[in-house]
Every structure is written in structure tokens, then in C-alpha cells.
Structure 1
Amino acid sequence: MTSPVPAGLGLSPAEVIAVLEAAATAPSVHNSQPWRFRVLPDRIELYADPARRLPATDPDGKEQRLACGAALTNLRIALEALGVRPLVSLLPHGGALAVVRHGGRVTPSDHILDLRRAIPARRTNRKPFLDDGVTAAQLSQLLHAAQTERSWLHPITDPSQRNRLHALVVRAHQVQLANVEFRAELERWTGHGGDRADGVPSRSAGPAHEPQDHWVLRDFSGGRARERVPGKDFEHEPLILVICSYYEGMLAELHAGQAMQRVLLTATTLGLSASFIAQPIEVPSCREELRRLLGAGISAQVILRVGHGSPVAPTPRRPVAELLIDAEPVLPGGTP
């Protein structure tokens, strides 16, 4: 039986499926999985899926491009783990966000293999974390991961900065809840019973917000959050990290998305958990104030809450066949 997934980059159809499955486990706003791929004999092309952009939550498509950047990191790591050096072109002509070609053979390092194993193990953990702190050595590895992808990781440790950022999170959250379209979009994509291949099921939502929770405000449960176990509150002082770019625009967002995923995978290899604090990024006025708060000519792209969490189940993923554009099998001789 002919595989519906073509060969490409010198890989068999089964290897292409494995690589695209890895790419598709990247995080995205409300688990919308807003990416598509075209597999050709000499390249894999990555596209944003316009049908899966969330206009109320992500009005300028910024988070969609961050998610596609994260998928690209997974794709690159999966290829390198198979011995293919990925040669990446960002924002080429033709509407693709990225094109990945075969850059020669490579022997994967132990580090790459560790990151490859972390891809299916990474989870967005919306549950409370333990109060155990992230060590200086762990933070150093996370900082290096962001720098590897031409981005900067800014820990929010100064009490004044933390207070100002928290105020921004609360204000952006209130702005979004006052938006009817945003609330409808949140309800459409979250809190389902787990019978879909996308969105955030109620089992992955985490506990409902309570007054003592300072940093985790958004309810992904659709009103179906489980009752909180007494004493299992969110950690009081989580590690808050902001992934920043050195400039604005689509290219910066793709770099930041790649950095975000490498930071998340590195955290996974270190036994750490992470979730997103997206509100100030999604509300343009708050994002601009956040840029001024950070200063130093850097632009905030992603805010992460990082710590030691308990295990959580994976969110659902669409099959690879649904992610393909012009998925025609390659005929003998290498022609589609």
C-alpha cells in the first residue's frame, strides 16, 4: 500500500511522518496547531494555517508565528537526530514561513538526542508547581538555550519589575474578559471532553482560579475545573522568564518561537515544567508597556512560568495527514 506521506530530504515516508509528528507536538495558543507542511523531494516547507489563527486572542498573528517557530525547532531537532543537518531559510518567497533543506549528514550529539527525547515528553503544565526553586545552574542552561536561537531570556527577579509585570497580567486579563469575541473563542477552543484532536481538554486545564493565585488567571476548563485539593495552591513566587527578541517583526517572532521551544525542551530535560502567561503579549497596549518595563532595546515575545511540577497528560494532536499541503506520494525516480 502506498504511503499518503511522500519521501523527502532523503528520508523514507515513515521517517518523514516521525519528523512531522515531532514538529506538530509544539505548543500553540489554545492548542490550535496552526501550521501546515509541504513535503517535496528536496525540502520541507512550513506554512502558517490561516484557518487556525485565533483573531480575537491573537489579532496580529504574532502567537501563530511563535508557534510555527516552535514547530520548526522540533523539526530541526528531529532531522538532526536522524543524521540530517537541517539547512533553514526563514521567510522565503511563496508564502512559506520556512524552508528546510538537506545540509549534509551529521552525527547527532548526545545533547540533540536528549532534546529529541524531550519532544514527546514536553507538556504545558497548568497545575500548581512545588515551591522548590530553579537552581542557578538550571537557569544558566535555559539562558543558553535562548541565546542559541538568537534570542534573550530575561528572568523577572527584581521585586519592582515583578509587581509591575503582575499588574500588567491582571490588566490584560481584564481587557480580554471584557471582549465578547475573546470569550467566545476561549470557550470554543478549551474545556472540551477530550474527543477532539485539537484545543485544550478540561483534563489539561489545571484548577480554577482562586483569589490567592497571583500568576495563573486564565480558566481553560470551560467551567469544568476539578475542585482543588486543600493546600494545593499555586506556588507563591514562580520563576518568571520572558523570551525577548532584539527587534520587531515576523523574523523576530520566528526566532523567538524557536528559542521558546528550545527553552521548553531544555527545561524538560532538566525535570522542569512550564506554562504560559500570555495575556500581556496578546493585548497590544500591555505588550508595549512590557517592552518599556524591560528596556534595553529588547521586545518581549513570550512569558513563561517555570518550576517543578507534577506529571500531566499530553494534549491531543491532529494526524500528520491533516497537516500536509499537496501530499502526493513520490514516484520511483524521485518525481511527484
Structure 2
Amino acid sequence: MRSTQTDIERVAADARRAVEDAIWAPSVHNTQPWRFGVAGTRITLRADPDRRLGVADPRGREMLISCGAALYTLRVALRSLGHDPVVHLLPDPDRPQLLADVDLRPGEPADEAVEREHAQVRRRHSHRGGFLAAPESGVLTGLRHAAEREGARLVQAVDVHVKGALAALTDAAEHVQRRTPAYATEIARWAPAPGTSRKDGVQQDAYPRRTPLTAPHFPARDFARGRGWGVEAAEDDTALTGLVVLLVSKGDTPADWVKSGQALQRVLLRAAAHDLSAAYHTQALQVPDLREFIRAQFCGDAYPQLLLRLGVANGEKLTSVRRPVEEVLTEEPS
């Protein structure tokens, strides 16, 4: 059956709506390193290398993890609109920035599970501080299953010595990075001063002015750079570490990075449905020697892609911004 003009217009409108959701995926320092294209019933996802962290992420690993999170969000949004997204990952070796072609096929109306997952897309927020409570027992099983569905695994740091070691490695990496001029310049680029009109980066309403100490303590990024910016935390803010997990993958190729990003977002959306938030600690994984040490000591034959803490955040609503969809979406010839 030939598509009518109405069908074409509906697909185009649905594609735009899905991209509007996809851009709410998490990305390292809120760099939003993605670009989307729409051509007929196909949506393309490309990495935007101009938004890669050249100092902290020279290989583009975290850039592709971020794009993978956007890809999973796109899939969820399309399913909520009654489409069956068929993903072709890294379809052209000669165009490494082309991360995915997503073909829209007719699907079933969204069921309750899809609707519930889609409802978390804009509820999910990153957290930068301690937690009021750790996840309830049993929740981790579902989060592990979510990661495995996307080809990754969650490895929990149960032993107190393992958690202490990961915290110490994070602290050491943060200490080194803060004293590296090129890194400090990069942080300054992506953590703008108050009053900015930018719609990217980690802005002052996205992090607390003072980060409560946890035991063991996982240091947060110094986005304020000692200037006193940030949201004033509640006086009774309880500082629990929460659940400490590593997101790991079997391989360490660009395809594995994109898959890890999809796994991350699937985990985060499931966590959000349980009123859980995630705090990211990527410092040690940005230092090659420390990442290799973590892999060898704590990950077996897998590769660490992200270090997370999960828990129930306080009632503070830290905010985030996104670029308008017009800046990341291009209409392409069919």
C-alpha cells in the first residue's frame, strides 16, 4: 500500500516528537554531542565531534555513550507513538560519526510498560550529592536485567573495601584533573557562569553549592571552580553513598560504547520509575591507567564504562537545559 501525504506528514511529526524526547538523554557535562536527521521513515543519529571533550575524552568514548543514551530514548519515544524502531548500528564504516540508522516500521499501540518507561524520560535527572536512602533490596535485579537487555552488565561494589578503593581512585583522579590547566579550561567551557543564555553545559542550577560528605566519599566535579555557585542544599540533607555500581561491557569498541549508552539509559529510566536518581563519577575512567586498574581488579574480563551511585535524592529540584530541537535536527532528502 502506497503511503498517503497524510501518512508521510504523520511520520515526520512523530519523528520530530521522538527527537524532542531523545535530546533529554544524559550526556557527559551536558555536552549534548548528537545530531539527528530525518528522511522519510528513517532517522539518523550522528555524533557531533565539535562537542567531544578533547582533554577528558580524546577517544570519544563518553561522547558515544552519551549518543547511545539518546538512541535508547529515541527508541522508547518511537514505541510510545506506535512505531517499531529497527536500529542499524554503525551502518557505514567509512562514516564513523554515523552511529545509527533507525527505520520506522508499523508497530503496536503502546502498552502500559512502554508508557511507564516513556513517562520517565523527562522525570529522570542526574544527581550530584549524597542520598536520603539506598535503593530497596530487589530493585537491583531489575536494573541488572535492564542493562543485560542492551548488551552490558551492572557490577555492584558490595565489599566495603571495594567501595573504598573506587572512592579513593575517583578522588585521586579528581585531584589530578583539577590541577591540569587544559582540563580546567575544558571544565570552564562546559560549566558557564551564572546568567548565561546557553542551553547546554552544566549550569549553576544543576549542582549543589556544597556537596555533602559521604562514607566513603565520592567527590563531585568542581563545576563552580571555587566561586560559590550552585544551589544551596537543605540543612538536613542526609548524605548516604547509595548503591555503587559499575556499568561494564564485554568489548571496548565504538559499538560497545553506543550499546553501553543504551544500557545506561534503560537502567536510568527503570531507576526513575522507582524514584531513584544516579550520580556519575567518571573521573577515574578518564585516566587510562586508572581505568585499566579498575578493569583488572574489579571487572573480570569486562571493560568499565561508567561508575554510578544510585539512591533516593532529596526533594531539591536541580535543573538542566537542552538546546532547541531545531539545533540538532535536520530534514534530509528521502
Normalising by the residue count of structure 2, what TM-score does the alignment of the two structures yield?
A: 0.90
1:216 aligns with 2:219: yes
Closer/same/farther in 2, CA of residues 272 and 226 from structure 1, 3 Å limit = closer
Q: State the AA in 2 paired with 1:90.
A: L
Question: For each residue in 1:279-298, what CA deviation from the matched residue of structure 2 results, as whole angstroms up to 9, or x when unmatched?
Answer: 11211111111101223211
Q: Could you say which residue in structure 2 is the equivalent of 1:85? A: 84
Q: Structure 1 residue 111: deviation in Å?
A: 1.4
Q: Could you say which residue in structure 2 is the equivalent of 1:18? A: 17
Pairing 1:209-288 to 2, within 5 Å after superposition: 209=211, 214-222=217-225, 223=227, 224-226=229-231, 228-232=233-237, 234-235=239-240, 237-288=241-292
Q: Structure 1 residue 212: deviation in Å?
A: 6.2
Asked if the contact 2:177/2:184 (under 8 Å) is kept, the reply is yes
Q: Could you say which residue in structure 2 is the equivalent of 1:65? A: 64
Q: Could you say which residue in structure 1 is the equivalent of 2:327? A: 322
Q: Could you say which residue in structure 1 is the equivalent of 2:305? A: 301
Q: Structure 1 residue 211: deviation in Å?
A: 6.4
Q: Structure 1 residue 260: deviation in Å?
A: 0.4
Q: State the AA in 1 paired with 2:134.
A: G
Closer/same/farther in 2, CA of residues 21 and 321 from structure 1, 3 Å limit = same
Closer/same/farther in 2, CA of residues 28 and 50 from structure 1, 3 Å limit = same
Closer/same/farther in 2, CA of residues 228 and 87 from structure 1, 3 Å limit = closer
- Between 274-283 and 204-213, report the one with greater CA deviation: 204-213
Asked if the contact 1:9/1:102 (under 8 Å) is kept, the reply is no
1:289 aligns with 2:293: yes
Q: State the AA in 1 paired with 2:44.
A: E
Asked if the contact 1:8/1:16 (under 8 Å) is kept, the reply is no
Closer/same/farther in 2, CA of residues 102 and 148 from structure 1, 3 Å limit = same
SS of the residue corresponding to residue 121 of structure 1 reads coil
Pairing 1:84-103 to 2, within 5 Å after superposition: 84-93=83-92, 94-95=95-96, 96-103=98-105
SS of the residue corresponding to residue 99 of structure 1 reads strand
Q: Structure 1 residue 172: deviation in Å?
A: 1.2
Q: State the AA in 1 paired with 2:125.
A: R
Q: State the AA in 2 paired with 1:47.
A: R
In structure 1, what is the Cα distance between the partners aligned to 2:121 and 2:212?
Answer: 32
Q: Could you say which residue in structure 2 is the equivalent of 1:134? A: 135
- Between 254-263 and 158-167, report the one with greater CA deviation: 158-167
Closer/same/farther in 2, CA of residues 24 and 227 from structure 1, 3 Å limit = closer
Q: Could you say which residue in structure 2 is the equivalent of 1:203? A: 205
Q: Structure 1 residue 102: deviation in Å?
A: 2.1
Pairing 1:24-173 to 2, within 5 Å after superposition: 24-93=23-92, 94-95=95-96, 96-130=98-132, 132-173=133-174
Closer/same/farther in 2, CA of residues 211 and 85 from structure 1, 3 Å limit = closer
Q: Structure 1 residue 306: deviation in Å?
A: 0.7
Question: For each residue in 1:120-173, what CA deviation from the matched residue of structure 2 results, as whole angstroms up to 9, or x when unmatched?
Answer: 11111214310x221122111111111111110111111221122112111111
The count of residues paired between Structure 1 and Structure 2 equals 321
- Between 63-72 and 248-257, report the one with greater CA deviation: 248-257
Q: Which runs of 5+ in 2 are unaligned?
A: 1-5
Q: Structure 1 residue 324: deviation in Å?
A: 2.3
Asked if the contact 1:45/1:99 (under 8 Å) is kept, the reply is yes
Asked if the contact 1:146/1:153 (under 8 Å) is kept, the reply is yes
Closer/same/farther in 2, CA of residues 297 and 323 from structure 1, 3 Å limit = same
Q: Structure 1 residue 10: deviation in Å?
A: 7.2
In structure 2, what is the Cα distance between the partners aligned to 1:204 and 1:44?
Answer: 30
Q: Structure 1 residue 228: deviation in Å?
A: 4.8
In structure 2, what is the Cα distance between the partners aligned to 1:160 and 1:276?
Answer: 20
Q: Structure 1 residue 199: deviation in Å?
A: 0.7
In structure 1, what is the Cα distance between the partners aligned to 2:8 and 2:142?
Answer: 31
- Between 242-251 and 166-175, report the one with greater CA deviation: 166-175
Calculate the aligned-residue CA RMSD, in Å. Answer: 2.1
Query: What is the identity percentage for the equivalent residue pairs of Structure 1 and Structure 2?
Result: 34
Asked if the contact 1:127/1:207 (under 8 Å) is kept, the reply is no
1:188 aligns with 2:189: yes
Asked if the contact 1:10/1:41 (under 8 Å) is kept, the reply is no
